[in-house]
Amino acid sequence: MTNPPALSARLRGLDGSTDGWSVFLRARAMIAAGTKVTELTIGEHDIGTDPAILAAMDAAARGGHTGYAAVPGTDTLRTAVAARVSARTGVPTGRDNVLITPGAQAALFAAHMAALDPGDRALMIDPYYTTYPGTIAAAGGVPVAVPTRSRDGFRPDPATLAEHAAGAASLLINTPNNPTGGLYERATLEGIARVVTEHGLWLISDEVYDTQVWDGAHLSPRALPGMAGRTLVMGSMSKSHAMTGSRIGWLVGPEPVIARLTDLATATNYGVPGFIQDAAEFALAQGTGFEAEIAAPFLRRRALALDILANRPGLRLLPARAAMYLMLDIRPTGLSGLAFADRLLDERRIAVMPGEAFGTSAAGHLRIAMTVEDGGFAAALEEIAEFARSLS
């Protein structure tokens, strides 16, 4: 028997390691075996998609919108997304600036396909969401992590960005931020804009948590002077409307880029099911009040965390300004984030994500998802604080 042909170098180069996810995988195995574990790992709402949205999806499917849908998205959904973006950012946005994608992850891939030629360096801020390096590599790029510091709230420093920018093609940022719960203020974004403009980079902005802001206000870098023509923005229904499994998102950018990415979508996913698009359109029509209801549990749990974790020995809560996550600095315990998380799971049956899952800058930290009901969340925080005290 002859050997099969080799896989492509592109596919072989994808990093499938799960080192940082070992705690999550162990927790899931324990739960499957019948052990009770409090999961504070992934960013999944503890509520399902609203029944009214599901009813709209069902009605659209039963009404016949189950055939091929327009590849860039239905005209009505693209128009609705454009109106939402215009209202939230102040940047005039039309239907032709919007590509509907199977979730923000597909938009992330599409943006890098637009920005990168094979072998191009693509910058990303460390710590970063776990799919970023693999997505860049899948698009043919070389991921380059730009370090940040815990004491600065993991905000990117323009001087450090500039040191890495020579010869790069793109910069990926995420505000509001996963995993840190941070929010980039205008001064930070203006510094980023200067760097990408001076070095001729595309700016790719992941803004899927734009409805989850607790302290301050979200500013899209696309709204800064001169940035609309070099910025690609990802959005999604997953976090704002608890529609994670529906896989419905978008990419916003200059019209010529969106037109070319429609060609890419035709050659890859061939669009998003029409009945899901109709449900997303219905969900957007519910307005900002509905989005605030979806975000409200995380605002409550943030308040609980600020109270419970204040002045606790062995840990430091970083400013929790946005998103459904908390970032804890546990370096005073002398343990790495992974070691702490492993012991917390074994000894207290609480699962959190070690900072090492998100790059090197967050080593010695934990990411805690605020995704269990309030009472259980408060009890878990008390346990974590007590565990940190016992170690320190």
- Overall average pLDDT of the 79-92 stretch: 97
Four-residue CA torsion sign, 58, 62, 65, 67: positive
Establish if 4 belongs to a structural domain.
Answer: no
Q: How far is residue 107's CA from residue 123's CA, in Å, rounded to a whole number? A: 17
Residue the block writes with tokens 């239905």? 74
Q: Kind of pairing, strands 249-252 and 168-174?
A: unpaired
- pLDDT tens-digit readout, 266-301: 999 999 999 999 999 999 999 999 999 999 999 999
- The reply to whether 184 falls in a domain is yes
Write out the residue range of the structural domain in which residue 304 sits: 9-48+289-391
Residues 199 and 90 reside in one and the same domain: yes
DSSP code of 14? Answer: S
User: What is the predicted pLDDT for the residue at 18?
Assistant: 54
In a shared domain, residues 249 and 334: no
Last residue of a domain, one of 257, 287, 317: 287
Q: Is the pLDDT of residue 369 over 60?
A: yes
Q: What is the pLDDT of residues 160-170, one digit of tens each?
A: 999 999 999 99
Q: What is the pLDDT of residue 3?
A: 83
Give 140-163 pLDDT, tens digit per residue: 999 999 999 999 999 999 999 999
- Is residue 59, in this structure, part of any structural domain at all? no
Query: The domain spanning residue 369 has which CATH number?
Result: 3.90.1150.10
Q: Are residues 91 and 132 in the same domain?
A: yes
The continuous run of DSSP H or E covering 293 comes out as helix 287-308
Spatial neighbors of 307 by CB under 8 A, at least 6 apart, are none
| pLDDT-derived band at 16, boundaries 50, 70, 90 | low
Domain boundary among 287, 304, 337: 287
Does residue 194 fall inside a structural domain? yes
Number of domains the chain is built from:
2
Q: Do 220 and 278 have their domain in common?
A: yes
- Domain membership flag for residue 3: no
Give me the CATH number covering residue 163: 3.40.640.10
For 252-272, what is the mean pLDDT? Answer: 97
Task: Confirm whether 148 is domain-assigned.
Answer: yes
Give the end of a domain, one of 259, 287, 315.
287
